Amino acid sequence: EEFRERLRQKQLAAPQKSATTHPLWPQIEKLTIEQLGYAQQDVEGGVWQLFAEEGEMKMYRRELEEDGLVVDPLKAVHQVRGATAHEMVHHFWSPDVRFEWDTSIEQMTVLDRISADTLIFLQLHKRVWPTAQRDALFWSHIREISSSDPANGKAHDTWIVCNQSAEHPDAPNDGKYVRIDLTVCFVCQTFIDPPPAEGQPITRDNLLVKITYCSVVNPGGWAPASVLRAVYKREYPKFLKRFTQYVVDKCADQPIAF
Ligand code: 18C
């Protein structure tokens, strides 16, 4: 008992882990701002080619190869009704629900908690025949963009999740799997559309969320371009449709969380 009490006192006295003093922080801060700007740039104007479209969902890519490997940047836009930006990004970021929607994952570990809004993940992805199995180690940061930020525009609120590859002493790249290099951002904005009748409360019928998902994934190792582009074309639309529907369904009978 005494030991437990001493331990508890020690934990209470320990300084709170603060993200802003973590060595990764400058990089997290810089990338988050950069990715927000990148996500909000228009896709019209030439460089992006539409490769998938379904209802409101549009997916664009730029063909790009690095050292003979396909790394095609992806930019997808979508909009759905019935959920808020906060609800969307929360489910995208939270390790608790990842297996409920990300079907590309075989294992997931939270290696580190940098702060309440920043985690380090290690994920083992499903193997794609005929190439080696991949894993990914990345930090993941969730943030609300201040309403006075011009990036908020006419939205009720704006949220972002940024994921980027990192290194961690608990999971060195020992060659057992091929390590993916990724930069991903997921930006959501809530619009109150259509507005409720005067004096009426906002219900889920008044919620419209606009979503932008951007990614650049370098698969590492060896992978034939044709297989990679086929996986890409099949998996990205499947992911975004499945994920957004999952959040809408999950939140349907919950109080609205802005
Ligand atoms: O953003 C997404 N998820 C986040 C939380 O998990 C996070 C993860 C990003 C990892 C992206 C890379 C995933 C590679 C998976 C390879 C196997 C997929 C196919 C499985 C089929 C059974 O940000 C949502 C991610 C949605 C992933 C869509 C697939 C993207 C494919 C990109 C090509 C990279 C291929 C790598 C190896 C394949 C070799 C042919």
pLDDT tens readout for residues 42-67: 998 789 999 999 999 999 999 999 98
Answer yes or no: is the C-beta of 74 below 6 A from any ligand 1 atom.
Answer: no
ipTM confidence score: 0.95
Answer yes or no: is the C-beta of 236 below 6 A from any ligand 1 atom.
Answer: yes
Nearest residue by C-alpha to atom 40 in ligand 1: 228
Is residue 211 a contact partner of residue 187, using CB atoms and an 8 Å limit? yes
Q: What is the CA radius of gyration of the chain?
A: 20
Collapsing DSSP states into helix, strand and coil, what is residue 27?
helix
pLDDT tens readout for residues 181-210: 999 999 999 999 999 999 999 999 999 999
CA 148/CA 140 separation, integer angstroms: 24
Question: Does the predicted model carry a pTM greater than 0.95?
Answer: no
Find tokens 């060595």 and name the residue: 23
